Amino acid sequence: MFIATLLCNPANPVLDPALPDSLRNAWGGGAITWLAPGIAAEFPLAEMPGNRWDVWADLQDNGVDLVVQPQEGRRKKMLLADMDSTMIQQECIDELAEEAGVGSRVKEITARAMNGELDFEGALIERVGLLKDLPETVIAKVLKERITLMPGGAQLLATMKSAGAYAALVSGGFTAFTAQVAAELGFDENRANTLLVQDGRLTGEAARPILGREAKVEALEQITARLGISEADVMAVGDGANDLGMLKRAGAGVALHAKPSVAAECDIRINHGDLTALLYIQGYARDEFKDVSKG
């Protein structure tokens, strides 16, 4: 048995009831369940539709994402998340580079590395080198003034954790950023690269070994073994080429607003929804989301 989920950006609820109804009829699906009016709906299917990707492509023009996945085991026990352009809306190294006056050069390298055109480790070493002599205090300034959380992240973490899931943040970025983002969102652990500092300034070096694609896969292997769960119990989310290893190994690998070359290799592609899409595709209804409002 499979489940087809249609969803859109919660800030722009464009999911017309006629759409899931017509698709359900075309595919011979079961009863429609609305997870959130105008935002997310799902229905069961006996088999995987042969024209799934054709329909997916058509729906993209309507601002709607389509995910079809096995029904069994879709509610996961662990979240393994990338940070840059996934849990936050920026690339930290690009923001540091702007402060260092080398923004355009670093952004170009970042884009090519995330699209898989450059070796990740070499690209990171080159970009960090361009930050040499930047005052360490700039990190706090960037965190305060330039870094914003991706919409839906707090609800995703709070809801999965309230259901007993474990959450790990694994980034090719830097511990100075993952530590704060992890603490703010409620991740159980975080792993990233460490920027080396001497006399209050960045040395232009990162500690070795560099955490890249293989290190994210190792995190998946190590944490699942420690928790006594299978890789099928994991939902991984990311957007760059260095995320593909963990996205392909996890039970559910979500390409979130990903580079085209990355999305093309993933079965779950979210281009319109925010991070709450990861709850909807697990079958959580909006009224099951954990309240994260302040006060």
In whole angstroms, what is the distance from residue 182 CA to residue 179 CA? 5
| Residue 151 domain flag | no
Give me the mean pLDDT over the 121-137 stretch.
Answer: 96
| pLDDT reported for residue 73 | 96
pLDDT at 295 over 70: no
Residue 45: CATH number of its domain: 3.30.70.260
In whole angstroms, what is the distance from residue 62 CA to residue 49 CA? 20
- Structure token pair of residue 82: 């990338």
| 247-275 pLDDT tens trace | 999 999 999 999 899 999 999 999 999 99
Count of structural domains, the chain: 1
| Residue 17 domain flag | yes
Give me the mean pLDDT over the 145-164 stretch.
Answer: 98
Give me the mean pLDDT over the 183-196 stretch.
Answer: 97
Q: Tell me the residue range of the domain where 37 lies.
A: 1-72
- How deeply is 270 buried, as exposed, middle or buried, from its count of CB atoms within 10 A (0-12, 13-18, 19+)? buried
Sign of the dihedral defined by the CA atoms of residues 92, 111, 264, 244, in that order: negative
In whole angstroms, what is the distance from residue 244 CA to residue 263 CA? 9
In whole angstroms, what is the distance from residue 4 CA to residue 190 CA? 32
* pLDDT averaged over every residue in the chain: 96
**Contact at 8 Å (CB) between 4 and 68?**
yes
- Structure token pair of residue 49: 């539709």
In whole angstroms, what is the distance from residue 269 CA to residue 200 CA? 42
Amino acid at 127: R
pLDDT at 173 over 60: yes
pLDDT at 30 over 70: yes
| Residue 159 domain flag | no
Question: Considering the entire predicted model, what is its pTM?
Answer: 0.96
Q: Which residues are identified as catalytic? A: 82, 84
In whole angstroms, what is the distance from residue 94 CA to residue 85 CA? 11
Tokens 């085209």 sit at which residue?
260
**Contact at 8 Å (CB) between 211 and 228?**
no
5, β-bridge pairs: 42, 67
H-assigned helices in 28-85: 52-60
| DSSP-derived pairing of the beta strands 33-36 and 40-45 | antiparallel
pLDDT at 241 over 90: yes
- Report how far Cα 117 is from the mean position of its chain's Cα atoms: 20
Which residues are within 8 A (CB) of 174 and not within 5 positions of it... i.e. 6 or more apart?
92, 93, 192, 193, 194, 195, 206
Q: What is the DSSP letter of 161?
A: H
In whole angstroms, what is the distance from residue 161 CA to residue 71 CA? 21
- Structure token pair of residue 66: 């389509």
| 90-124 pLDDT tens trace | 999 999 999 999 999 999 999 999 999 999 999 99
| Residue 242 domain flag | no
| Residue 225 domain flag | no
Res. 294 pLDDT band, cuts 50 70 90: low
| Residue 237 domain flag | no
| Residue 89 domain flag | no
